[in-house]
Amino acid sequence: MVSRHPGGRPRQIKVCELGKRIEQMAATRGWNRTDLASRAGITPVSMWALCVGKSKPKFETICKIADALGVPVTKLR
């Protein structure tokens, strides 16, 4: 059984939405996934998995990404 949020959406949609926001913020800076991964100190594969919703990142990873983007973690919500 898939765990669902209010409104009937599966949890993975939230992770995917986070990935999309991160990609959009990187794009406004002229960066691609690999650029952001390098700046955040994570692997390009980890960044890819986050951006396409294949992995649920640790809070530490989200903090690294927010730091690389120069935004508070709350902007990634």
Residue 27 structural domain: 12-76
pLDDT in tens, the chain (77 residues): 333 445 555 444 477 889 999 999 999 999 999 999 999 999 999 999 999 889 889 999 999 999 999 999 988 87
Residue 7 lies in a domain: no
* pLDDT for 8: 52
Which amino acid, residue 77?
A: R
Residue 2 lies in a domain: no
**For residues 13 and 49, what is the distance between their CA atoms, to the nearest angstrom?**
13
**For residues 10 and 45, what is the distance between their CA atoms, to the nearest angstrom?**
23
Q: Is the pTM of this model over 0.85?
A: no
* pLDDT for 53: 87
Q: Residue 63 is encoded by which pair of tokens? A: 């903090």
Report phi then psi at 30, rounded to 5. 80, 20
Q: Number of folded domains in the chain?
A: 1
